[in-house]
Amino acid sequence: MRRLLFYRSSSVTSATASSRSVRLGLRATPEQETLLRRAAEVAQKSLTDFILDAAYQAAEQTLLDQRLFMVSGSQYQALLAMLDRPESDNPGLADLFSLQPVWAAGK
pLDDT score, position 15: 58
| Rounded Cα distance, 29 and 36, in Å | 11
In a domain, 17, yes or no: yes
* Residue range(s) defining the domain that contains residue 7: 2-86
Pick from 33-37, 68-72, 78-82: least confident: 68-72
If one counts the domains in the chain, the total is: 1
Q: What does the pLDDT average to over 28-53? A: 96
| Rounded Cα distance, 48 and 54, in Å | 10
In a domain, 99, yes or no: no
In a domain, 16, yes or no: yes
In a domain, 61, yes or no: yes
In a domain, 91, yes or no: no
In a domain, 15, yes or no: yes
Cβ pair 8, 64 in contact under 8 A: no
pTM score of the predicted model: 0.50
In a domain, 103, yes or no: no
